[in-house]
Amino acid sequence: MTALTIHDRIALQDLVHRYAEAIDERDIPRAAALFTGDGVLELPNPPAALDPVVSHTGIDAVTAALLAVAAVPVTFHAIVGAVFDPGPTAATAVGRVTCTAHHLTRRHGKDVDLVWHIIYRDLYRSTSAGWLFARRRLHVAFIESRSVAAMRAPGPTR
């Protein structure tokens, strides 16, 4: 194992934040492009299964899986912690990223925030394009439901 440089750590931090931004901005192609060509996205099926139960391999499959977020009017992902370590092979790293993911939607005539407290278990690969996700496993620690006083219309904030 090779130690991660400060440049690696900054690039990995940037990668996980760009993924959250792309999801919140509904730029699914940009989010999927953060995976290697053979990248894997493993997802749970809340509330029945909070640990990954389905696997999506390759950019097309990752893109199709991420399109499900379009059904949620507004999301807001806040990265609350990230730890990166050298990976099992050269040019890889592993990470544990914690995130609070707000899913704002309308239920029974009221705005509701379903808050997922997420732990991502990631494998990253250094490529000619920079660090990318080789595998991203999404685990939900717990889910809260909160009322919402106001919600802006969906769409980019640029």
Nearest to 139 by CA among 118, 158, 110, 156: 118
Q: CA-to-CA distance for 17 and 84, rounded, in angstroms?
A: 14
* CA nearest to 82, candidates 14, 6, 3: 14
Q: What percent of the chain has pLDDT over 90?
A: 84
- The reported pLDDT for the residue numbered 34 is 98
Per-residue pLDDT at 118 exceeds 70:
yes
pTM summary value:
0.93
From CA 74, how far away is CA 53, in angstroms rounded?
25
Model confidence pLDDT, tens digit, residues 24-33: 999 999 999 9
